[in-house]
Structure 1
Amino acid sequence: MNPGVISPAGQAGRVTFLNHSCLLVESPQVRMLCDPWFEGSAFGDGWRLLAEHSHRLGDIGCDYIWLSHEHPDHFSIPTLRQLDSPRRFIYQKTSDNKVRQYLLANGHSCIEMDEATPHVFGDIRKTVYVSDGYDSASVIEFPDGSTLLNANDARLELGGNIGRIRSRHPRIDLLAAQFSYANWAGNEGDDSTPVDQQQLVIDRLKTYIAQFQPKKIILFASFVYYSHEENFYWNRNWLPRVMEALQEHADRIIVPRPDQAFDMADLAGQDFSEENRKSMAFWQAAASGIQAVDRSNRDIRLDDIRQAYRHFFSETWSLNAMSTVVTGQNRDFSLVVRLPDLAQDLRLYLFEERLELCPAEEEPEPDITVSAETLCFLLRNKFGRGTVSINSRIQFNYPSAHRFFIFFFIPYANNIGSYFREGRLDAARLRSIARTSVMMSILKASPAAALNFEKDMQAFA
């Protein structure tokens, strides 16, 4: 199928997989593209597509482009730059307004959708459900009542979204969901944590199938590889394991490949077993040629880190009130960072503008180990914590890994429009750290991590 040519779709509509999380949704009146990413790296040169350059965005005819959230494998600026004319975008209403402002500044229009509020586009009805404060899933209802739930990588188990979607959309014909973890899942040499992380995703898929009872489920949003020299060792093919784990639902599973189209009519009666074998072979061939194409910037020096730290400290405490966070017990809170490329350990303080070089003879236990480039990235970008947690260009000391999440908690919250100017940021709010995929695995793997986490929570109480 050529996505640039409008083809007639029955009242039940059609869904075409283009790449990674990108779907083209068609009804008789509307063509809506979802989460296009066709070129460029994502997450600080941490990920690349297994099938890069599968399409050119400017050549795809559509009425709307929906972006589920601002992560760069969904909101891909290199891909959006392929557009040579204004387009109509759809995005969830946010307090920071960043994505909408970017789109407007580049000549596009943007329709903002209120969360959990249906919006009509031509002959389809679309509703978005926000998870974890920023990610969103989408339910599209076609003219004949058939329904697509695009969960992408939203964690629908958070915020009661599974129950809300079930009550409002009892019929789900097609579910599209992520099939592999998309974040750090263990230090190099740790073989158990990746398995644990992947099992969390498999369990989530089983929950979705049990709760939504879709006729078919597209496994997607995971057709990437770790492309950096610092994280290339991470690459594993989890698709066979997922297929084995979901064997009892084999008749529902769809493994897509680029330009494969799915008619919503009579989904339950369609057999995709042969197409799935072709798709598995396609992705296996794509993965066989991957290389570590992204390299570290080895020109970063201590002066660059000092400057980045001054920026971090100044910005954090100009946007937020220190009095909302600091206590007598946490006033000396710090993060110890090991920089192998500079052969140096640093201690960075959160409530006092102080960066210390740790003497070599002390050899303190680091909380994290990163390159100098990654540390500068963390300090200069409010979204840095999220990016590095995903691109896996980091090694954690499991017993104290939570200190990384505490140290960057405030700028991470600021990035999605949450600021701390009055009241208290206390342990109750900070405990959300334990629900991150990274900390869930670390707390499970390390008894010391759980004890140390509780100790620091008390300091912030």
Structure 2
Amino acid sequence: MSNPTFTFLNHACFMVRTESALLLADPWLEGTVLNDAWSLVDRSTSSAALIAALNGCGLPVFIWCSRAAPDRLSLPFLQRFQAEFRGIATFLHRQGRDWRLADELRRQRFALAACKDGQPVALGKDLRLTAFANGEADSWCLIQAGRRSILHLGERALGTRAACRAAAEHLRRRAPRIDVLLTGFADMAWCGNPDGFAQREEAAGQGIARLAMQAEVFRPRLLVPVASFARFARADNAWLNHGRRSPAGLLDAPRLETLRPLIRFMAPCDSIDLERDSPASLAARSEAAVARWVACWREPPPPLPRPPEASVTELRGAFQKYRERACARLYGLPRLLEAVRALRPLAIHLADLRQTVELSYRHGFRLLARDGPADVALCSGTALILLKAEDGYDTVYAGACFWTLRPDGLSAFARFFLPQRMARRGLDRRRPLVMARLMLRTALARMAREVGAALR
């Protein structure tokens, strides 16, 4: 009987193999995502090599997608997988309120299985996965391979000690001991303008504190960092790489001094025997992996160019179509929200055009004074993507290809494009009751924040 194995592939992607089944998680192995906004730190892996390995494994294949994001489910990988995979594959996703992932997989005509929150799903006689919600659209999971338990938290889940303790208590019945903890240490998120180095340093410290807290609560036998091996790749977001922690920087953090013996880095395609390997047996491989990652961190490729310049006329036309579509999908709700000042028009400075424009669901698109106040700044090509793509806001926000010009610029940006995000998640006229509940919760949460601020 062969032992179950864990193989790290790249960034957030890994594979767990037992005698009865193979689980692949969050496949992104090559190329860029988010319109070239992100690239892999190590570019040695390929979708073709992975698919060839899956074709030769002789096992049923399950593919777990933790959220509907291109670094978790790369569209080029899906297209190649559909054309080249010759076995039996089932895509797994958490059953929840975010329908984007299931809709995308159905469009690609893949076999799907929804994982109910907190309910184990048997993938084989010796492989199980239990999915849990992390907010509306994100997930974390427990993987049980033979006698071993793997807790996969990514870079977002269980960010507080209270949440970790509640999860640990809930998991204790299913997994008395966590053998391997998979968690991130360098979140890919917007954290300040080009001059906001202190803000990025603070975010990096929070990532280390989160990792330490999770290790202290769950007490794993082994901690493997994942989901932190991508970089901001474009000329209009590359500044965000400065201040992020590298693997060597993580190991040097004083907060992790007592945990260092448990932390083991893996290079792409490194494997662990889940029965036999230990932190001690993996020490030499971890040192080699850190050296490899440090070399990749120190030798970044030149920044990729930002999207081609768009004219004001193109942007005006794109916003007109966006506005009509958003209002039709939500029964005119965006106009109403703006009328009652729950939303306000968004002022955007187009840096490459040296022009400021205002977007309004009620009044449309208009030019402002070139040096007038604005909420956010971005390049015209990015603005065109923002307006034309169905997931334009998610792409631009995740890609972090913008900077703020007012203290509340980020929240104004997010609120204005709430209608697009709701429609993208299926929370529109297709699901009116769910849409209404979301809007009610959002309104109540905003009122609570305003009351809290007033009381303080």
TM-score normalised to structure 1 length: 0.84
For the residues of structure 1 that align with 2:265 and 2:374, how far apart are their CA atoms? 42
| Residue equivalent to 1:238 | 245
Q: Which residue of 2 aligns with 1:287?
A: 297
Matches within 5 A, 1:118-267: 118-122=120-124, 123-144=126-147, 146-157=148-159, 160=163, 163-168=166-171, 169-236=175-242, 238-239=245-246, 240-245=248-253, 246-265=256-275
Offset at 1:127?
A: 0.4
- Kindly indicate whether the alpha-carbon contact (under 8 Å) linking 1:320 and 1:419 is maintained by their aligned counterparts in 2: yes
Question: CA offsets per residue over residues 22-75 of structure 1, 9 Å max, x none?
Answer: 111012211111111111211221011122241323212252222211110110
CA–CA separation in structure 1 for the residues paired with 2:223 and 2:64: 20
Alpha carbons 2:374, 2:405 under 8 Å: kept: yes
- Cα drift, residue 172 of structure 1: 1.0
Matched, 1:348 2:359: yes
Number of aligned positions between the proteins: 426
| Superposed displacement of residue 321, structure 1 | 3.5
Q: Which runs of 4+ in 1 moved over 6 A?
A: 424-427, 431-434
List alignment gaps of at least 5 residues for structure 2: none
Decide which moves more: 270-279 or 365-374: 270-279
Q: CA RMSD in A?
A: 2.9
Which one of the candidate residues 24, 27, 35 is aligned to 1:36?
27
Partner SS, residue 16 of structure 1:
strand
**Equivalent residue for 2:442, pick from 429, 439, 446:** 429
User: Is the counterpart of residue 71 in structure 1 residue 72 in structure 2?
Assistant: no
User: Cα 1:345–1:428, aligned 2, differ >3 Å: closer, same or farther?
Assistant: same
Assess, with a 3 A threshold, how the Cα gap between structure 1 residues 77 and 327 changes in structure 2: closer, same or farther: closer
- Deviations, residues 252-308 of structure 1 (Å, cap 9, x unaligned): 101110121112225556343332221111012223332235322334111111122
Counterpart of 1:106 in structure 2 is 108
Offset of 1:148 from its aligned partner? Answer: 0.3
> Does 2:393 match 1:385?
yes
Cross-structure match for 1:117: 119
Q: Select which of 51, 55, 71 maps to 1:58.
A: 51
**Maintained 8 Å contact 1:151/1:177:** yes
Decide whether the 8 Å contact of 1:229 with 1:295 is kept in 2. yes
- Determine if contact 2:155/2:228 at 8 Å carries over to the other structure: no
Of all paired residues, the percent bearing the same amino acid is: 21
For 1:111 and 1:58, locate their aligned partners in 2 and report how far apart those are by CA, in whole Å: 21
Deviation of residue 192 (structure 1)? 0.6
Point out where structure 1 has 5 or more consecutive residues left out of the alignment: 1-7, 435-452
One-letter identity of the residue aligned with 1:126: L
1:319–1:165 Cα change, 3 Å:
farther
Q: How many Å separate the matches in 2 of 1:202 and 1:9?
A: 36
Provide the C-alpha distance between the structure 1 equivalents of 2:292 and 2:315, rounded to a whole number of angstroms. 43
Q: Under a length normalisation based on structure 2, what TM-score does the superposition of the two structures give?
A: 0.85
* 1:449 aligned residue: none
Q: CA separation of 1:97/1:74 partners in 2, compared to 1, >3 Å: closer, same or farther? A: same
For residue 6 of structure 2, the aligned residue among 4, 7, 15 is: 15
CA distance in 1, matches of 2:372, 2:444: 26
Between 1:418-427 and 1:405-414, the stretch displaced more is: 418-427
* 8 Å contact from structure 1 (residues 124, 142) kept in 2: yes
8 A Cα contact 1:18 1:258, kept in partner:
yes
Structure 1 CA distance for aligned equivalents of residues 165 and 389 of structure 2: 32
1:400 aligns with 2:408: yes
- The whole-number CA distance in structure 1 between the counterparts of 2:401 and 2:446 is 19
